[in-house]
């Protein structure tokens, strides 16, 4: 497949005429394979250009098409988990012409988004939430007397998250709720044996369920003895199956189960979905798909094509994540107590190197952030030095565990928080803008954000060499260090004024305007200073806690001046807000302005830098100068 193929109508004649699910239904059965091929061409073209999740969407083409041929969106509710496998759904629901804007500012989101389309029933940027939401939709329809179906498309990885099992425990068999399991890596139910294979083929035929439903309806109309006969027949069937055919997890919970079946054969998928729909009850449809289907490089190496960066960007190369993985591996070479834990993000967090060098001390717990944190607490309590590497946006899910299992017991667990700050491509669901605020509220938590790789390495060394460790978080953004920021720290005028805090002037020459910032916004501060021509100084913090001490040490550097805080995070509970309150206790007439994210999830505008959208860029800083 040529990924450079232009998007002309002659290349995708069927897809170019799909403007709604109604158009998908209108196609003949013989047109569907061709449509699926065109969809794959479009996916490869757009994701190669814009970045995004390719392998998972290539594997979900046939099931997405079949869903829209069998069900009636938006009357029927379709929910994807994880939402990154929803690209085909977006193409088929009126967003084809805008698909070239996928993951661009102001364009189509890489995840389902309620505000984007009525066909996106529920936003799912994190894993394992869909079934709980789908259960809510199905219950609401039941109470409303609606005959609508709720279809939840689950990636098999979602089952590593506990919420799926919590929701399964609360499902009612009477609900019009259909779980479509898209299994492309992990086997959920492996059936073996000749009898099992033949029975599976029998159960895959729609006629099997039509006959079963007709028999049940016949006996239901027999007074007094009808329902007991149905129960007896079901009992006999279960006993018979138990002898020859192991019942799977879903059937043990009482669900009607269809599958497993080839999820990349359009006619098979449609047959299964129609059979499940005809049941009119809570069902599970289990489909096995090939991740990366139809694009040879992705089929051969699906992990490498799971998430692509935009053309011209090198994901993971020369990044904080990559540096962290190698540095931690070096530390673990000398310290046999060091363990690394991640939640289904080994490559994303840079821990592939650690796994290769220390496989017995590496743990990927699946999409289970809560478990990752408490598991680390257990390791720590029993004498080991666990490091938990999780994206900022996913660490939110484990807040209770951080407080109850780590901080309350003062256990030395190190949290390495990747993708800190605003996330332009993945959008609001993946912004890492809350962790400083929610971690700052936890007693005893130490928080750092290194500016450079050298700083990052020094912070890690300091932590592991400390005799009395405490719960510690090191946060860092996507991508690598910025030359402008590194040059600032190397400037001869920059001096250390507190632990992990630096200024580019001394107390004998305090400028009229002082910018206090940390992380990536140091670059915006440097630009604002150099472009303004005003009297400006910069204080940059890598250490974001121990603020009572910092406030006392920083006072001589800001006395009576115009102070501008710039922070790539939410205002409430922020470093800026907390330090300001302490500075005010020693106030000498300073004017203080805080530039931070206020009452917003920051949805980026088209063709605008995300810092400008958030109101924290160099221009916003300059407007605060006197």
Kindly state the DSSP code that residue 98 receives in the 8-state scheme: T
Kindly give the interhelix angle for 61-70 and 32-50, rounded to the nearest 10 degrees. Answer: 120
SS3 percent helix, strand, coil of the chain, rounded to 5, is: 45, 15, 40
Considering Cα of 195, then 199, then 202, then 205, what sign does the dihedral take?
Answer: negative
What band does 450 get if pLDDT is binned at 50, 70 and 90? Answer: very high
Helix (H, G, I), strand (E, B) or coil at 503: strand
Q: Is the pLDDT at 187 greater than 50, yes or no?
A: no
* Least reliable range by pLDDT among 9-18, 242-251, 268-277, 551-560: 242-251
Report the C-alpha gap between 246 and 461 in whole angstroms.
52
Kindly state the DSSP code that residue 265 receives in the 8-state scheme: -
* Least reliable range by pLDDT among 235-239, 471-475, 503-507, 585-589: 235-239
**What residues contact 463, with CB distance under 8 A and at least 6 apart?**
414, 469, 472, 474
* Token pair for 381: 């309590």
Report the C-alpha gap between 580 and 593 in whole angstroms.
9
Please answer whether residues 229 and 219 qualify as being in contact, where contact means their C-beta atoms are separated by less than 8 angstroms. Answer: yes
Mean pLDDT throughout 500-510?
95
Common-topology check for domains 15-189+248-300 and 492-622: yes
Kindly state the DSSP code that residue 406 receives in the 8-state scheme: I
* Token pair for 395: 């660490």
Active centre residues (catalytic): 291, 369, 397
Q: Is the pLDDT at 7 greater than 60, yes or no?
A: no
* Domain spanning 492-622, CATH architecture: 3-Layer(aba) Sandwich (3.40)
Q: Is the pLDDT at 427 greater than 90, yes or no?
A: no
* Token pair for 233: 């027949």
Report the C-alpha gap between 579 and 241 in whole angstroms.
66
pLDDT at 4: 43
Which CATH superfamily groups domain 15-189+248-300?
Thiamin diphosphate (ThDP)-binding fold, Pyr/PP domains (3.40.50.970)
Residue-wise pLDDT for 311-326, tens only, equals: 655 544 689 999 999 9
Report the C-alpha gap between 126 and 111 in whole angstroms.
9
**What residues contact 563, with CB distance under 8 A and at least 6 apart?**
514, 516, 583, 590, 591, 592, 593
Backbone angles phi, psi at 162, to 5 degrees: -65, -25
Report the C-alpha gap between 182 and 537 in whole angstroms.
55
First to last CA, the chain: 58
pLDDT at 82: 81
In the block, tokens 């300059």 appear at 622
CATH topology of domain 320-475: Rossmann fold (3.40.50)
Report the C-alpha gap between 358 and 355 in whole angstroms.
5
Residue-wise pLDDT for 461-495, tens only, equals: 999 999 889 999 999 999 999 999 999 999 989 99
DSSP annotation string for 356-368: HH-GGGEEE--S-
Kindly state the DSSP code that residue 557 receives in the 8-state scheme: G
Mean pLDDT throughout 62-82?
95
Torsion of CA 141, 136, 284, 254, to 10 degrees: -90
Closest CA relative to residue 109, chosen from 149, 80, 138: 80
Helix (H, G, I), strand (E, B) or coil at 506: coil
How would you label 353-372 residue by residue, b for 16+ Cβ within 10 Å and e otherwise? bbbebbeebbbbbbbbbbbb
Q: Within 10 A of 493 (CB to CB), how many other CB atoms are there?
A: 10
> Could you state, in order of their start, the residue ranges of all structural domains in the chain?
15-189+248-300, 320-475, 492-622
**What residues contact 510, with CB distance under 8 A and at least 6 apart?**
537, 556, 557, 558, 559, 561
């Amino acid at each position: 497949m040529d990924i450079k193929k232009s998007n002309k109508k002659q290349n995708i004649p069927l897809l170019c005429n799909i403007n709604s699910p109604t158009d998908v239904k209108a196609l003949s059965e013989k047109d569907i394979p061709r449509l699926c091929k065109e969809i794959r061409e479009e996916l490869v073209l757009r994701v190669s250009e814009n970045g995004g999740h390719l392998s998972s969407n290539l594997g979900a083409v046939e099931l997405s098409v079949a869903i829209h041929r069998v069900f009636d969106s938006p009357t029927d509710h379709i929910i994807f988990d994880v939402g990154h496998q929803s690209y085909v759904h977006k193409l088929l629901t009126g967003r084809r012409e805008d698909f070239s804007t996928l993951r661009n500012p102001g364009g189509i989101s890489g995840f389902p988004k309620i505000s984007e389309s009525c066909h996106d029933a529920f936003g799912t940027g994190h894993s394992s939430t869909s079934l709980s939401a789908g259960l809510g939709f199905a219950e609401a329809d039941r109470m409303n007397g609606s005959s609508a179906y709720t279809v939840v498309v689950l990636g098999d990885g979602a089952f590593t998250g506990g919420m799926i099992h919590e929701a399964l425990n609360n499902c009612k068999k009477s609900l019009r709720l259909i779980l479509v399991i898209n299994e492309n890596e992990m086997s959920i139910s492996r059936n073996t044996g000749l009898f099992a294979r033949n029975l599976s083929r029998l159960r895959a035929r729609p006629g099997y369920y039509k006959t079963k439903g007709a028999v049940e309806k016949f006996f239901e109309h027999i007074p007094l003895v009808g329902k007991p006969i149905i129960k007896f027949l079901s009992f006999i069937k279960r006993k018979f199956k138990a002898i020859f055919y192991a019942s799977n997890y879903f059937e043990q919970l009482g669900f009607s189960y269809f599958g497993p079946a080839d999820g990349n054969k359009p006619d098979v998928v449609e047959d299964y979905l129609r059979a499940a729909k005809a049941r009119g009850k809570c069902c599970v449809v289990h489909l096995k798909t090939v991740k990366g289907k139809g694009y040879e490089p992705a089929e051969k190496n699906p992990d490498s094509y799971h998430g692509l960066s935009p053309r011209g960007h090198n994901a993971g190369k020369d990044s904080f994540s990559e540096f962290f993985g190698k540095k931690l591996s070096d530390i673990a070479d000398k310290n046999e107590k060091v363990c690394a834990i991640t939640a289904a993000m080994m490559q994303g967090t840079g821990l592939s190197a650690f796994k290769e060098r220390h496989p017995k001390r590496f743990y990927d717990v699946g999409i289970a952030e809560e478990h990752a944190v408490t598991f680390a607490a257990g390791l720590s309590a029993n004498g080991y030095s666990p490091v938990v590497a999780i994206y900022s946006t996913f660490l939110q899910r484990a807040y209770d565990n951080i407080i109850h299992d780590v901080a309350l017991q003062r256990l030395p667990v190190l949290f390495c928080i990747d993708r800190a700050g605003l996330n332009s491509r993945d959008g609001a669901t993946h912004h890492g803008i809350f962790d400083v605020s929610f971690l700052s509220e936890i007693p005893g938590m130490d928080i750092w954000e290194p500016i450079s790789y050298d700083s990052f390495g020094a912070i890690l060394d300091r932590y592991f060499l400390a005799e009395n460790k405490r719960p510690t978080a090191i946060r860092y953004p996507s991508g690598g260090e910025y030359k402008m920021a590194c040059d600032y720290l190397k400037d001869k005028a920059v001096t250390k004024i507190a632990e992990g805090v630096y200024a580019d002037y001394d107390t004998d020459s305090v400028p009229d305007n002082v910018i206090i910032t940390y992380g990536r916004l140091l670059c915006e501060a440097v630009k604002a200073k150099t472009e303004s021509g005003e009297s400006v100084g910069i204080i940059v913090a890598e250490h974001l806690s121990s603020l009572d001490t910092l406030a006392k040490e920083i006072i001589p550097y800001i006395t009576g001046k115009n102070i501008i805080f710039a922070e790539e995070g939410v205002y409430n509970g922020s470093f800026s807000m907390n330090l300001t309150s302490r500075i005010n206790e020693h106030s000498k007439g300073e004017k203080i302005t805080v530039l931070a994210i206020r009452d917003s999830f920051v949805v980026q505008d088209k063709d605008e830098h995300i810092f400008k959208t958030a109101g924290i860029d160099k221009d916003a800083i300059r407007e605060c100068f006197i």
